[in-house]
Amino acid sequence: MSLIPFFGDGHLLRASDYPHPDSVWPNSQQAIERQMRHLSLEMRRKLTHDNAAALYGLGRESSSGPYRTLKTVSMRCSSQIAKGMTPEAPA
């Protein structure tokens, strides 16, 4: 949380490291509350949802229909990674 001022609230994502055994899952909600209790609800939403949705182009109009699905984004990223490319950010 101390890096938010440095990177900006639109450039960070919260991660749980699931499915690794040292992740906080299935206690993710409690971990978020503990780690982010000092942040506003708006900031929590950005870090846990909105920034990831913006990064992957989820929940907005796209050429693939009204909403991109996680499967569509995952398939695109997987094919680029398999070719040795870095996944591109959505336009």
User: Is residue 17 scored above 80 in pLDDT?
Assistant: no
Could you tell me the sign of the dihedral formed by the alpha carbons of 18, 19, 23, 28, in that order? Answer: positive
pLDDT at 66: 44
Report the chain's terminal Cα–Cα distance, integer Å: 28
**Does position 16 have pLDDT exceeding 70, yes or no?**
yes
Provide φ and ψ at 67, rounded to 5°: -140, 135
Q: Give the residue extent of every domain in the chain.
A: 4-82
* pLDDT tens sequence across 35-86: 999 999 999 999 998 898 888 877 655 555 544 555 566 666 655 555 665 5
C-alpha dihedral sign at 67, 68, 69, 72: positive
How many Å apart are CA 45 and CA 56, to the nearest integer? 16
What's residue 82's pLDDT? 57
